[in-house]
């Protein structure tokens, strides 16, 4: 735990460029302490650490991925103890980065060390990539992977990040949804007009925007943009099977998401979350919304949309389709790209994935829950698409780790299980 505490005391807020160099240097020394030969790669942003521990060129190679940056700790007044002074209370380590992701990456490093101490030589080659920009969207990771494909070649990518399942059963994620964000802006008049003096004369862009949005999605939620669903990979029989076995308690989920009207069965819940795309309005803006009323016809109306995408939808292709749809109806509309990340999914039947799953079962004495995809987005495609390697995400942190929030914490039991799990996975993947 001393190793982890050293790392937690070092702030490393990537978005504010606080302590990043210092944390990278510290991370590097921790990697070297467990025998990992480490190099620091400069990027246009924060550096990436790459380490290797190569044993036998015929053995499979496991690539471990994590990040040393953290979210800002604000609001500071809500922390019971200061965010960069790790403190143990009730069997938990409280600190910013305890779970996300310093505690989990240290568990992986200590898992490697534990295996060597207990069993001697590793049955796998280890490669490690630890970046400093995950909390700002992994801006330079794709370029790094693209230009170091040879160096990073691996048989399986193994990430420990995120919270484990609320049932406390081990959880395995085999992919993520991607994301495409964009904004549509309509402008009619050059400025806001008097709603009486020009009422019925100047058209209102807020109404136009609503009409446009109605052409993009049907009332039952189906996206009406031509070709939106074209490239979606159908779920395999194994994936269908997995969805049906995931535990689901409607009332408990309803309470957690603050939506008491939730009316869905478990299989549909996981299918909608993991295997179906979304088309979400995340913000709408037009006219006057302050106190009182201002009788104007607004000159502009805009909407921000984030669409979560599933394999093999390509965010660039979807953006072109959206733009074409909008321009066909409003050639003067401004459609602005705001960001994207590709989706990924590793088939559960992949042989090396099956081996790793055996290791996880052996560690926990229990079959892990396997979710074909996370609802959220992570840059997992850099491994599956750029490196063509299967990728597995095993969250080590407790369900209530409060990552990104005040009082982030990692249960010590979860930390120790993470160390054991890493050692078991190394062992299992190394078996013929
Ligand atoms: Zn995070």
Residue-level pLDDT at 100 = 94
Residue-level pLDDT at 166 = 81
Residue-level pLDDT at 432 = 82
How many angstroms separate the alpha carbon of residue 325 from the centre of ligand 1?
A: 34
Q: Cα dist. 66→111, 170, 273, 380, 411 in Å?
A: 14, 19, 24, 11, 19
Neighbours of 172 (CB within 10 A): 22
Note the helical H segments in 34-89. none
Task: Write out the E strands in 31-86.
Answer: 37-41, 48-53, 61-67
Residue-level pLDDT at 64 = 98
Domains of the chain as residue ranges with CATH: 2-176+344-429 (3.40.630.10), 178-235+275-341 (3.30.70.360)
Placement of tokens 């990979």 in the chain = 233
State which residues of the chain have pLDDT below 50: none
Who's near 256: CB < 8 A, 6+ residues apart? none
Half-sphere exposure of 238 (CA within 13 A, CB side): 10
Residue-level pLDDT at 167 = 83
Q: Give pLDDT tens digits for 345-361.
A: 999 999 999 999 999 99
How many angstroms separate the alpha carbon of residue 135 from the centre of ligand 1?
A: 5
Residue-level pLDDT at 352 = 98
Handedness of CA 93, 97, 102, 104 (dihedral sign): positive
Q: Which of 2, 54, 12, 32 is nearest to 109 (CA)?
A: 32
Residue-level pLDDT at 29 = 96
Who's near 18: CB < 8 A, 6+ residues apart? 11, 12
**Which residues sit opposite 61 in a β-bridge?**
125
How many angstroms separate the alpha carbon of residue 128 from the centre of ligand 1?
A: 19
Q: Which two tokens stand for residue 314?
A: 């390509």
- What is the C-alpha to C-alpha distance for residues 357 and 428, in angstroms, rounded to an integer? 8
How many angstroms separate the alpha carbon of residue 97 from the centre of ligand 1?
A: 8
How many angstroms separate the alpha carbon of residue 13 from the centre of ligand 1?
A: 11
How many angstroms separate the alpha carbon of residue 99 from the centre of ligand 1?
A: 9
How many angstroms separate the alpha carbon of residue 397 from the centre of ligand 1?
A: 12
How many angstroms separate the alpha carbon of residue 341 from the centre of ligand 1?
A: 16
Q: Which two tokens stand for residue 393?
A: 């995400």
Q: Which of 159, 153, 158, 145 is nearest to 54 (CA)?
A: 153
Q: Which two tokens stand for residue 207?
A: 């109404």
Neighbours of ion ligand 1 (CB under 5 A): 100
Neighbours of 368 (CB within 10 A): 20
Q: Which two tokens stand for residue 77?
A: 């007044």
């Amino acid at each position: 735990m001393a190793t982890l505490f050293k790392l937690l005391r070092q702030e490393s807020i990537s978005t504010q460029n606080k302590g990043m160099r210092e944390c990278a240097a510290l991370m590097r020394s921790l990697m070297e302490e467990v025998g990992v030969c480490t190099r620091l790669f400069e990027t246009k942003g924060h550096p990436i650490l790459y380490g290797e521990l190569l044993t036998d060129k015929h053995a499979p190679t496991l690539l471990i991925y994590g990040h040393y940056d953290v979210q800002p700790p604000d609001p500071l007044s809500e922390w019971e103890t200061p965010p960069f002074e790790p403190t143990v209370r009730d069997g938990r380590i409280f600190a910013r980065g305890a779970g996300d992701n310093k505690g989990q990456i240290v568990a992986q490093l200590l898992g490697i060390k534990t295996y060597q101490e207990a069993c001697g030589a590793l049955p796998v080659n280890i490669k490690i990539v630890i970046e400093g920009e995950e909390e700002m969207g992994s801006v330079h990771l794709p370029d790094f992977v693209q230009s170091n494909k040879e160096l990073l070649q691996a048989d399986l990518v193994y990430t420990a990040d995120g919270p484990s399942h609320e049932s406390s059963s081990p959880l395995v994620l085999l992919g993520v949804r991607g994301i495409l964000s964009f904004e549509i802006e309509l402008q009619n008049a050059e400025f806001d007009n008097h709603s009486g003096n020009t009422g019925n004369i100047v058209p209102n862009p807020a109404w136009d925007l609503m009409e446009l949005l109605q052409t993009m999605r049907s009332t039952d939620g189906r996206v009406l943009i031509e070709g939106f669903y074209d490239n979606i990979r159908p779920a395999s029989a194994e994936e269908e099977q997995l969805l049906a076995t995931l535990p689901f308690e409607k009332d408990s989920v309803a309470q957690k998401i603050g939506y008491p009207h939730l009316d869905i069965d478990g299989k549909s819940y996981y299918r909608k979350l993991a295997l179906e795309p979304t088309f979400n309005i995340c913000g709408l803006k037009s006219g006057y919304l302050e106190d009182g009323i201002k009788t104007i016809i607004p000159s502009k109306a805009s909407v921000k949309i984030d669409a979560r995408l599933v394999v093999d939808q390509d965010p660039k292709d979807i953006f072109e389709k959206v733009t074409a749809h909008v321009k066909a109806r409003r050639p003067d509309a401004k459609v602005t790209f705001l960001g994207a990340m590709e989706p990924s999914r590793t088939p559960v039947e992949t042989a090396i994935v099956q081996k790793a799953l055996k290791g996880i079962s052996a560690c926990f004495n229990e079959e892990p829950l396997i979710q074909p995809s996370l609802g959220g987005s992570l840059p997992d495609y850099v491994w599956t698409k750029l490196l063509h390697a299967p990728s597995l995400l095993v969250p080590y942190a407790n369900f209530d780790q409060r990552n990104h929030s005040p009082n982030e914490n990692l249960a010590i039991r979860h930390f120790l299980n993470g160390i054991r799990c890493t050692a078991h996975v190394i062992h299992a993947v190394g078996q013929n």
